[in-house]
Chain A
Amino acid sequence: MGHIVIDVSDVVIRFAGDSGDGMQLAGSLFADMSAIYGNSLSTFPDYPAEIRAPHGTVSGVSGFQVHIGDASVNTPGDFCDLLVAMNPAALMANAKWCKRNAMILVDADAFDEAGLRKAGFKTDNPFLELHVEDRNLIVAPITSLTEESLKDFGMDQKAVHKCKNMFTLGMACFIYDRPLDYIYAYLERKFAKKHPEAIAPNRKVLQDGFNYAANLQMIPDTYHVAPAHPKKGTYRNITGNQATAWGLLAASEKSGLPLFCGSYPITPATAILEELAIHKSLGAKTLQAEDEIAGICTAIGASYAGDLAVTTTSGPGLSLKSEALGLAVMAELPLVVVDVQRAGPSTGIPTKTEQTDLNQALYGRNGECPIPVVAAHSPAHCFDAAFNASKIALEHMTPVLLLSEGFLGNGSEPWLIPSMKDYPVIQPPFAKSLPEDGKFRPFERDENMVPKWAIPGQKGFEHRVGGLEKNHRGVLASDPATHQLMVNEREQKVQKIADFIPELEVDGPASGKVLVVGWGGTYGHILSAVQKLREEGVSLSRAHFDYIYPVPKNTSEVLHSYEKLIVCELNSGQFASYLQGLFPDLKIVKVGKVQGQPFLVSELVEAIKKEI
Chain B
Amino acid sequence: MATLSFKDFKSDQEVRWCPGCGDHAVLAALQRALPKVSQALGYEKERYVVVSGIGCSSRLPYYMDTYGFHSIHGRATAISTGIKVANPWLTVWQACGDGDALAIGGNHFIHAIRRNIDINIILFNNQIYGLTKGQYSPTSKFGAITKTSPYGTVEHPFNPGSLVLGAKGTFFARSLDVELKLNEEIMTAAALHDGTSVMEMLTNCVIFNDGAHRDISDPATRADRTIVLRHGEPMIFGKERDKGLVLDGLGLKVVKIGENGITEKDILVHDAHCQNPGVHMMLADMKYPDFPVALGVIRDVKDVTYDDGVRDQVKDVMKKSSIHCVDDLLRSGSTWEVE
Are A236 and B80 within 8 A (Cβ)? no
In the complex, A232 has a CB within 8 A of chain B: yes
Chain B residues within an 8 Å CB radius of A326? 72
In the complex, B36 has a CB within 8 A of chain A: no
Are A281 and B86 within 8 A (Cβ)? no
Are A235 and B336 within 8 A (Cβ)? yes
| Contact for A300 among B79, B107, B314, B338, CB less than 8 A | B79
A34 to chain B, nearest CB (A): 11
Are B79 and A297 within 8 A (Cβ)? yes
Are A282 and B86 within 8 A (Cβ)? no
Chain A residues within an 8 Å CB radius of B310? 285, 287
| Contact for B49 among A294, A299, A307, A456, CB less than 8 A | A456
Chain B residues within an 8 Å CB radius of A35? 336
A260-B85 in contact given A234-B331, A476-B62 (Cβ < 8 Å): yes
Chain A residues within an 8 Å CB radius of B320? 281
Chain A residues within an 8 Å CB radius of B324? 281-282
A221 to chain B, nearest CB (A): 28
Chain B residues within an 8 Å CB radius of A419? 327
Chain B residues within an 8 Å CB radius of A485? none
Q: Which chain B residue has the least Cβ–Cβ distance from A456?
A: B67
A442-476 CB contact bits vs B (8 Å, 1 = yes)?
A: 00000000000000111111111111100000011
In the complex, B337 has a CB within 8 A of chain A: yes
Are A464 and B61 within 8 A (Cβ)? yes
In Å, the complex CA distance between A457 and B49 comes to 9
In the complex, B153 has a CB within 8 A of chain A: no
Chain A residues within an 8 Å CB radius of B81? 287, 294, 297-298, 301
A236-B333 in contact given A249-B326, A260-B86, A458-B46 (Cβ < 8 Å): yes
Q: Which chain A residue has the least Cβ–Cβ distance from B63?
A: A464
In the complex, B89 has a CB within 8 A of chain A: yes
Are A279 and B335 within 8 A (Cβ)? no
In the complex, B148 has a CB within 8 A of chain A: no
Chain A residues within an 8 Å CB radius of B330? 236, 246, 417-418, 420
Q: Which chain B residue has the least Cβ–Cβ distance from A301?
A: B82
Are A462 and B325 within 8 A (Cβ)? no
Count B interface residues, CB 8 Å: 57
Are B71 and A297 within 8 A (Cβ)? yes
In Å, the complex CA distance between A75 and B69 comes to 47
A225-248 CB contact bits vs B (8 Å, 1 = yes)?
A: 000011111111100000000100
Are A262 and B82 within 8 A (Cβ)? yes
In the complex, A489 has a CB within 8 A of chain B: no
Are A462 and B326 within 8 A (Cβ)? no
In the complex, A38 has a CB within 8 A of chain B: yes
A300-B82 in contact given A291-B107, A456-B46, A459-B44 (Cβ < 8 Å): yes
Are B61 and A466 within 8 A (Cβ)? yes
Are A331 and B69 within 8 A (Cβ)? yes
Are B46 and A460 within 8 A (Cβ)? yes
Chain B residues within an 8 Å CB radius of A463? 67-68
Chain A residues within an 8 Å CB radius of B275? none
| Contact for A287 among B85, B90, B337, CB less than 8 A | B85
Chain B residues within an 8 Å CB radius of A476? 13, 62
Chain A interface category by residue count: 35 or more
A317-336 CB contact bits vs B (8 Å, 1 = yes)?
A: 00000011011000100000
Are A237 and B334 within 8 A (Cβ)? yes
In Å, the complex CA distance between A71 and B107 comes to 53
A390-421 CB contact bits vs B (8 Å, 1 = yes)?
A: 00000000000000000000000000011110
In the complex, B313 has a CB within 8 A of chain A: yes
Are A305 and B46 within 8 A (Cβ)? no
In the complex, A160 has a CB within 8 A of chain B: no
B199 to chain A, nearest CB (A): 20
Chain B residues within an 8 Å CB radius of A546? none
In the complex, A68 has a CB within 8 A of chain B: no
A232-B71 in contact given A283-B314, A419-B327, A459-B44 (Cβ < 8 Å): no
Chain B residues within an 8 Å CB radius of A458? 46
Are A462 and B72 within 8 A (Cβ)? no
Are B49 and A281 within 8 A (Cβ)? no
A457-B338 in contact given A304-B83, A323-B72, A331-B69 (Cβ < 8 Å): no
In Å, the complex CA distance between A262 and B83 comes to 12
Are A280 and B313 within 8 A (Cβ)? yes
Are B318 and A283 within 8 A (Cβ)? yes
Are A420 and B72 within 8 A (Cβ)? no
In Å, the complex CA distance between A237 and B332 comes to 11
In Å, the complex CA distance between A309 and B78 comes to 14
A280-B336 in contact given A302-B83, A463-B67 (Cβ < 8 Å): no
Q: Which chain A residue has the least Cβ–Cβ distance from B89?
A: A457
Are A246 and B326 within 8 A (Cβ)? yes
B300-339 CB contact bits vs A (8 Å, 1 = yes)?
A: 0000000000100110011011011111011101111111
In Å, the complex CA distance between A281 and B328 comes to 11
In the complex, B162 has a CB within 8 A of chain A: no
Chain B residues within an 8 Å CB radius of A305? 49, 82-84, 86-87, 90
A417-B331 in contact given A294-B111, A456-B83, A456-B87 (Cβ < 8 Å): yes
B36-60 CB contact bits vs A (8 Å, 1 = yes)?
A: 0000000011110101001000000
Are A457 and B82 within 8 A (Cβ)? no
B69 to chain A, nearest CB (A): 6
In the complex, A253 has a CB within 8 A of chain B: yes
In the complex, A36 has a CB within 8 A of chain B: yes
Are B86 and A327 within 8 A (Cβ)? no
A301-B329 in contact given A456-B67, A458-B46, A465-B69 (Cβ < 8 Å): no
In Å, the complex CA distance between A246 and B44 comes to 37
| Contact for A253 among B72, B75, B80, B325, CB less than 8 A | B325
In the complex, B5 has a CB within 8 A of chain A: no
| Contact for B85 among A250, A293, A302, A417, CB less than 8 A | A302
Are A294 and B108 within 8 A (Cβ)? yes
A279-B86 in contact given A236-B333, A327-B72, A464-B62 (Cβ < 8 Å): no
Chain A residues within an 8 Å CB radius of B46? 456-462
In Å, the complex CA distance between A540 and B325 comes to 44
Chain A residues within an 8 Å CB radius of B336? 35-36, 234-236
In the complex, A429 has a CB within 8 A of chain B: no
A467 to chain B, nearest CB (A): 5
In the complex, A289 has a CB within 8 A of chain B: yes
Q: Which chain B residue has the least Cβ–Cβ distance from A281?
A: B321
Chain A residues within an 8 Å CB radius of B72? 297, 323-324, 326-327, 467
Chain B residues within an 8 Å CB radius of A234? 331, 335-338
Chain B residues within an 8 Å CB radius of A460? 46
A260 to chain B, nearest CB (A): 5
Are B86 and A285 within 8 A (Cβ)? yes
In the complex, B280 has a CB within 8 A of chain A: no
Are B87 and A457 within 8 A (Cβ)? yes
Residue in B79, B325, B329, B337 whose Cβ sees the most chain A Cβ within 10 Å = B79
Q: Which chain A residue has the least Cβ–Cβ distance from B65?
A: A462
A361 to chain B, nearest CB (A): 20
A35 to chain B, nearest CB (A): 7
In Å, the complex CA distance between A118 and B15 comes to 72
Chain A residues within an 8 Å CB radius of B54? 467
B118 to chain A, nearest CB (A): 13
Chain B residues within an 8 Å CB radius of A323? 72
A355 to chain B, nearest CB (A): 28
Chain B residues within an 8 Å CB radius of A258? 86
Are A293 and B75 within 8 A (Cβ)? yes
In the complex, A306 has a CB within 8 A of chain B: yes
In Å, the complex CA distance between A305 and B313 comes to 20
New A-B pairs, 9, CB < 8 Å, besides A246-B326, A282-B324, A294-B108: A32-B334, A234-B338, A290-B107, A299-B82, A301-B79, A305-B84, A307-B87, A456-B67, A457-B89
The 5 A-B pairs of least Cβ separation, nearest first, read A301-B82, A466-B70, A281-B321, A297-B78, A298-B82
22 contacts between A and B (CB under 8 A): A229-B338, A236-B331, A236-B334, A249-B329, A250-B326, A281-B323, A283-B314, A287-B81, A287-B82, A294-B107, A297-B81, A301-B81, A301-B84, A302-B85, A305-B82, A306-B86, A456-B67, A459-B45, A460-B46, A463-B68, A467-B72, A476-B62
